[in-house]
Structure 1
Amino acid sequence: MDKELFVKEYLKKINFHNNLNLDLETLKKIHIQHLLHIPFDNLDIVYNKKIELDADKVLNRIINGHRGGVCYELNGLALRLLKYIGFNVKCLSGQVSDKGTLFDHNFLMVELQNENWLFDVGLEQNFFEPLKFSINEVQKDKVGYFKIITHEDWGYKLLYSLDGNNYKTKYLFSLQERQIEDFKPYCAFFEASITSPFVNNKICAISTEEARISLKNDTLSITQSGVQSKTKIENNQEFVNKLKEIFNIDLNTITI
């Protein structure tokens, strides 16, 4: 897919109609619109389909299949878009779990007017707007509170809190630039290992203007204004119904 068509189709999908300026307002709007219109989902992995690292294939599935993807796919997609537009952006990697590696997760860093911003549309739940790369500064978001601190091994740690008091680690990360191809060896683990969190859990999440909605196995969670509510999903048919109702995902398009 050529550059102009890729940008046009992506922006159409996320309902972005603003001017494409190389400024923070545009960056924030792209981040927000992506979260509002493209879900995070690991359903391909659950149903034995491969993680895609080719941005053209990911965009085609999202548009024609009304789907989402995992971090490698979604942030890889955003990486190409931001580069095509002209932003100074690089891909970074992070360690999500205690037993994971620094390639558990990928996300982006964008430099604007001598400031850096974390751009991450590839997690079940994360910041709604790009996060300023500022050490020890508490940054409030509609889904909670975030803070970046230093870490002696990897460099940095991103913390998250619902209430601004009790923080948990989102991921550890360094500032070393990565290429999308660097994540290929790690995709196999997430696709097939019995210890992979994606193999053992069905996850889909999307944002609204007011909240972040997550459907995970037998639980529907809604996080709004620092408060999280949970509703039990009684059976698989209800899960399928919620996929369609909330995320406009037809399970038949995945399993066939």
Structure 2
Amino acid sequence: MGASAGSGDIEAYLRRIGAERPVVPDAEALRRLHLQHLRTVPFENLSIHLGEEIVLTERALLDKVVRDRRGGFCYELNGAFAMLLTALGYDAELLSGRVYGEDGRLGIPYDHAAVRVRTADGPLLADVGFGRHSHFPLRLDTAEEQADPGGVFRFVATDEGDLDVLRDGAPQYRLELRPRVLGDFEAGCWWQTTSPKSHFTQSLVCSRLTEDGGRITLSGRTFVSTAPDGSRTEREIPEDELLAAYRTHFGMSLDRTPVTPSPR
């Protein structure tokens, strides 16, 4: 990690995700770190609806994820994870992606941030900030299908030299392979947190992977529990129990309830 982070930050980050420091920064250790991150650090956009500024600096991300035990969305989660991996001796760098919308169109530039990790076994894509995605890092040097608890993934090269990331045959996002730095994502982050066209400004979400490979999600007042086989149950949480739900299911102590956006 950079000058703003000390060795204590590394140990605190590892405690935050319930992981041990790898003896060797290899692909197998990365798999464990990746899975533990998904299980413990929620994918959430609550800052937008709490009136909190999202700052893309190393110190701010560490304070939010480690000290305050919060989550975040792609820029925050993968930005923080890339810092941790680098501090642990990995060759990790941020990549930019554009997410496919429901209409099949690509989103704005710098729509998504992911992490490329170069290992002795080849380059891997680590992504702990896309919500529902692979549980483990994916090999970037193959076009073959890769089975994962989160689905079957495949990379398809584009004419421009980018890679489309497919899950179960459906394109998720288009990945550029040029290395980026946190500051490159500031304009994209601003758009995601302010534009009425951004789905992050239109809805509340807090979600994480569970120990059994399922997922729990709190969207507004709707709590969704998804089993590993895809079956799901839903229930509405009373307004006065929301703060307790965030604390119980996601380990987050909020001082006020995020305001659900009005339908547009």
After TM superposition, is the score higher than 0.5?
yes
Counterpart-to-counterpart distance in 1, 2:226 and 2:9: 32
Query: Deviation string for 1:193-226 (max 9, x for gaps)?
Result: 1111111111111112212222223543444435
Q: 1:116 aligns with which of 117, 123, 128?
A: 123
Partner of 1:156: 163
SS at match of 1:252: coil
**C-alpha deviation, 1:254, in angstroms:** 7.1
Change in Cα spacing, 1:228 to 1:181, as seen in structure 2 (3 Å) is: farther
Alpha-carbon contact 1:135-1:149 (below 8 Å) kept: no
Alpha-carbon contact 1:214-1:221 (below 8 Å) kept: yes
Partner of 2:261: none
Counterpart-to-counterpart distance in 2, 1:17 and 1:114: 21
Partner of 1:61: 64
Change in Cα spacing, 1:220 to 1:149, as seen in structure 2 (3 Å) is: farther
Alpha-carbon contact 1:46-1:198 (below 8 Å) kept: no
The aligned amino acid for 1:34 is H
Alpha-carbon contact 1:66-1:249 (below 8 Å) kept: yes
Partner of 2:262: none
Alpha-carbon contact 1:58-1:73 (below 8 Å) kept: yes
**C-alpha deviation, 1:118, in angstroms:** 0.4
Query: Deviation string for 1:129-151 (max 9, x for gaps)?
Result: 11111443222222222121122
Alpha-carbon contact 1:143-1:212 (below 8 Å) kept: no
Alpha-carbon contact 2:94-2:116 (below 8 Å) kept: yes
SS at match of 2:56: coil
SS at match of 1:227: coil
SS at match of 1:80: helix
Query: Deviation string for 1:97-125 (max 9, x for gaps)?
Result: 32512311001011112511001111221
Counterpart-to-counterpart distance in 1, 2:92 and 2:167: 24
| Identity, % of aligned positions | 28
The TM-score with structure 1 as length reference comes to 0.88
Matched, 1:213 2:220: no
Partner of 2:8: 5
Partner of 2:81: 78
Deviating more after overlay: 65-74 vs 151-160: 151-160
Partner of 1:173: 175
**Which blocks of at least 5 consecutive residues in structure 2 are unaligned?**
259-264
Change in Cα spacing, 1:154 to 1:196, as seen in structure 2 (3 Å) is: farther
**Which blocks of at least 5 consecutive residues in structure 1 are unaligned?**
162-166
Counterpart-to-counterpart distance in 1, 2:60 and 2:22: 26
Partner of 2:28: 25
**C-alpha deviation, 1:251, in angstroms:** 3.3
Partner of 2:191: 189
Q: What is the number of equivalent residue pairs in this alignment?
A: 250
The aligned amino acid for 1:123 is F
